[in-house]
Structure 1
Amino acid sequence: MSGENTQATPAENDPVTEEVTIEEGAPQETLDADVQGFGEDANANKRIAQLEAELEETKGKWLRAVAEEQNIRRRAEREKQDALKYGVTNFAREMVSVADNLRRALESTPDDMKDTDVIKGVDMTERELQNAFKKAGIKRVEAAGQPFDHNLHQAMFEVNDPSQPAGLVAQVMQDGYVIHDRLLRPAMVGVTKGGPKYEAPQADSAPSEEASSATTEAYEAGNDEAGANLDQET
């Protein structure tokens, strides 16, 4: 028995070699997996950031589109209201001339004819026309004795009257009309001059000196400028 070979054979050493290989290889596989996972997380974060940026851009475009749609709707509604209010402007401008003729006919009627049926019919027609104007938002401009307003009046001549403040309407040659808040036709008037500067009535809060003399300064600026402003507004 002393001659037996007690050295281990290669076959007997194989299991030991396999165990060592597994133990040494395990940490490397784990490291590779961690590196691969880190790369995937970085790509995912980059993609998320890109999607968030695209979402923010899309949200901004949507908000701008909604705002533009609301502006278009408001503009269309405003144009609709203006069409309802001012759509008859041209027709109304022609009709105020008819009202002028009816008024002239009544004012030029002799006293002995005022009780006739014809004149009564003309008077009734004139009143009905004024009622129709009122329903349509058309009103006569009150000019006589009022401060000259270049937005409503057109000065045709001057009246030298030192007893009256300068810049007052002394005579109305043709009535003016407004439709709602727009000028339909300016009143043709004669304006006083030669008197003291017009002072507006004092209210609870006293107006400034510039405001009190604004009417006179507007008149003194010249009739050409007033006519230009009237043409622009009409």
Structure 2
Amino acid sequence: MANDQNSNENSASDTPGNASDSPETADTTSATQSRPPAAEVAGASTPSNPPPAADPLSAMTSERDKLKDQLLRTLADFDNYRKRSRRDEEAAKHRGREDVLRELLPVFDNLERAATYAKTSADAKAIGDGIGMVLKLFEDAVQRLGGQRLKSLGQPFDPNIHEAIQQVESAEHAAGIVAVELVPGYQLGERLLRPAMVAVSKGPASAEPAPTGDDDTKQN
């Protein structure tokens, strides 16, 4: 009887259908134990502290500050340019005045000599010749500076370059022609410095009719 019981126990232990000793069951249990939970897998792919979203107001403030800085720099550059241009303009004007005075100094020197000579000399011709030389020096100085004297005498009256002071009768000039140049006009290139003051001819004087015998009869 005891032998039969031992034989049955040995048979039960050797049965291949035992679930606890099956290799497949052991592998499944091991895989289940080694697989991490779904929550842990999801947490591994998602950062625990995501970066904060960009603040649109902060971005706009930064852009505003950048544009303001650029505007201030542009205004400063323009102010420097304006000051530099003003200095250059003043320097150019100063150089222009220097050139004019340098050209006119010899004229004044000769005028002074002529005035001194006129006080000690009674020779009117010599004084006139000296003044003529001074005028020639002045004319040359004006030409070197680019000035040009207008030709008015005998020219048709032009309101663009002439200023009519009066009208005169003239047998030499037809009506509308400059008969007398009172003050000469000058121009610099194409720009008028001053108009010429002139007297314009209105033609020859009209001849008075000669008296006739009828007029004498009427008077008697």
- Greater relative CO, 1 or 2 (CA 8 Å, sep 6+): 1
Structure with bigger gyration radius: 2
Under a length normalisation based on structure 2, what TM-score does the superposition of the two structures give?
A: 0.47
